[in-house]
Structure 1
Amino acid sequence: MTIRTLALLLLTLCAQPVWSQMEQGHSTPGMDSAALSTRLALRDLWVEHIFWVRNYVIANQQGERKQADTAVTEVVANATAIANSLAPLYGQPAADQMLKLLAGHWGAVKHYSDAAVAKNAAGKKAAVGELTGNAKAIAKFLATANPNLPENTLVTMLSAHGGHHIAQVDQLGKQDYAAEAKTWKAMREHMLVLADTLTAALVKQFPDKF
């Protein structure tokens, strides 16, 4: 898959978030507490992911190693928090597997950022392949764990997320800040969609917990 093809996936997700399609007038006390808290917590975690990755990309391009190292630490801490959010429902082994998959995602984005700074076209191409393969792996893992998460839908969503990262790295590298501002907005909205989709699937799979 080329960089252009992956970037085009940014346009594929046009439906409303799963959560927004739920009847607002039929919420229960459980949905107003545990489910809502989970939804908001996952939103925060996924938005934090793109925040710290963006910090790394900027610091990396500016040669600010201390700032870049801090961003790396925070990206890893955030990935650990996302993975551990699965533990109460799926167990720690599942959380550990998710962390490995998220590490692969971050590693691919970092690879792309580093290759962009080095002006290494082959490295950038390889990183796109890593992102694409990782998106499929995460989608398979989540779909296997929760039957309410269609694998093909997740592949599309996660590939689009990877495309956002790529677009952002390239736009910041070109100092096209107006375009990057639009990408950031799209990234954030996409993360909210992902968090809401995951929450709705969890509520459906574990109604007794919510």
Structure 2
Amino acid sequence: MKRRFLLVTLLVAMVLSLSFMPLGAHATAGKEPGTAMCMTPAKMKLKQDMRKLWVDHVGWTRSYIISAIAGLEDQKDVLDRLLKNQQDIGDAVKPFYGDAAGNKLAELLREHIQLAGGVVDAAKAGNQADLAKFNKEWFRNADDIAKFLSAANPNWSEKEQRDMLYAHLQFVTDQATARLKKDWKADILAYDKGEDHMMMYADMLSDGIIKQFPDKFK
């Protein structure tokens, strides 16, 4: 009876110890020391900066769609701010890939925005021929961006880049289509999904840079 009592007491103690174990300890239990990702200040800053840039990208894209479809007076100023964001993204990768590569990325992203404007204008006008033309070029530009990025970093596969960029184009299309139909709930839903998607994309880029240049993030 005494042995049974001791065994029960031991089991209860083990359960209680696991219950009060910190969440991080549960996540790393059974793993070799050092296998958990160490989030250094440098890594955190890159992730935060990259997320800010790409959330700005979808945010100012949305502002432009609203201005363009409604014909608001701020359309040009919003477009200028959106185009600045593309240069900001290019500038953000210059410390890792150099000025020429950063400027090339900014150039490809500016083309992405200009083609998006063509898609929105054609959809607003109901010009199906122009819509098809700009849409085809828009996806071709996404292919160019995916190819450029995958060549710069072996951790960014061309297919994954292309899939993420295509999804972004679809969320932008969904927003524009919903606004043209005055379906405000669908417009808001498409933006929310697109923002979440873009934060995942920003993290994909940050993780790839950290893996490629580990010495910069110790």
Q: Which residue of 1 aligns with 2:100?
A: 93
User: What is the CA–CA distance in structure 1 between the aligned matches of 2:114 and 2:90, rounded to whole Å?
Assistant: 16
Task: Kindly state the Cα deviation for residue 63 of structure 1 after the two structures are TM-superposed.
Answer: 1.3
Q: Which residue of 1 aligns with 2:45?
A: 37
Pairing of 1:191-202 with structure 2 (within 5 A): 191-202=198-209
- 2:151 paired with 1:141: no
Task: Kindly state the Cα deviation for residue 27 of structure 1 after the two structures are TM-superposed.
Answer: 3.8
Instruction: Indicate if the aligned counterparts of 2:172 and 2:191 stay in contact, CA closer than 8 A.
Output: no
User: What is the CA–CA distance in structure 2 between the aligned matches of 1:48 and 1:91, rounded to whole Å?
Assistant: 23
Instruction: Indicate if the aligned counterparts of 1:131 and 1:159 stay in contact, CA closer than 8 A.
Output: no
One of 160, 168, 171 as aligned partner of 1:164: 171
Instruction: Indicate if the aligned counterparts of 1:47 and 1:192 stay in contact, CA closer than 8 A.
Output: yes
User: What is the CA–CA distance in structure 1 between the aligned matches of 2:82 and 2:137, rounded to whole Å?
Assistant: 18
- 2:196 paired with 1:186: no
Q: Which residue of 1 aligns with 2:181?
A: 174
Paired amino acid for 1:105: H
- SS of 2:137's equivalent? helix
Q: Which residue of 1 aligns with 2:36?
A: 26
Task: Kindly state the Cα deviation for residue 183 of structure 1 after the two structures are TM-superposed.
Answer: 0.5
Paired amino acid for 2:79: V
User: What is the CA–CA distance in structure 1 between the aligned matches of 2:141 and 2:36, rounded to whole Å?
Assistant: 37
Question: Scaled by the length of structure 1, what TM-score is found?
Answer: 0.85
- SS of 2:209's equivalent? helix
- SS of 2:135's equivalent? helix
User: What is the CA–CA distance in structure 2 between the aligned matches of 1:198 and 1:59, rounded to whole Å?
Assistant: 30
- 2:160 paired with 1:153: yes
User: What is the CA–CA distance in structure 1 between the aligned matches of 2:158 and 2:71, rounded to whole Å?
Assistant: 39
Paired amino acid for 2:191: W
Question: Scaled by the length of structure 2, what TM-score is found?
Answer: 0.82
Task: Kindly state the Cα deviation for residue 118 of structure 1 after the two structures are TM-superposed.
Answer: 1.6
- Unaligned runs of 5+ residues in structure 2 are 1-26, 29-34
User: What is the CA–CA distance in structure 2 between the aligned matches of 1:67 and 1:82, rounded to whole Å?
Assistant: 23
User: What is the CA–CA distance in structure 2 between the aligned matches of 1:114 and 1:153, rounded to whole Å?
Assistant: 29
One of 88, 105, 117 as aligned partner of 2:112: 105
Instruction: Indicate if the aligned counterparts of 2:51 and 2:202 stay in contact, CA closer than 8 A.
Output: yes
- Unaligned runs of 5+ residues in structure 1 are 1-21
User: What is the CA–CA distance in structure 1 between the aligned matches of 2:109 and 2:102, rounded to whole Å?
Assistant: 10
User: What is the CA–CA distance in structure 2 between the aligned matches of 1:26 and 1:33, rounded to whole Å?
Assistant: 16
Task: Kindly state the Cα deviation for residue 32 of structure 1 after the two structures are TM-superposed.
Answer: 2.6
CA RMSD of aligned residues (A): 1.7
Q: String of CA shifts for 1:41-80, please: whole Å, max 9, x gaps.
A: 111111111111111111111111x311111011111111
Size of the aligned set, in residue pairs, is 186
**Identical-residue share of aligned pairs (%):** 32
Q: Which residue of 2 aligns with 1:68?
A: 75
User: What is the CA–CA distance in structure 2 between the aligned matches of 1:164 and 1:106, rounded to whole Å?
Assistant: 14
User: What is the CA–CA distance in structure 2 between the aligned matches of 1:192 and 1:61, rounded to whole Å?
Assistant: 26
Paired amino acid for 1:145: A
**The structure with more radius of gyration:** 2
Instruction: Indicate if the aligned counterparts of 1:39 and 1:195 stay in contact, CA closer than 8 A.
Output: yes
Instruction: Indicate if the aligned counterparts of 1:168 and 1:180 stay in contact, CA closer than 8 A.
Output: yes
Q: Which residue of 2 aligns with 1:52?
A: 60
User: What is the CA–CA distance in structure 2 between the aligned matches of 1:184 and 1:63, rounded to whole Å?
Assistant: 20
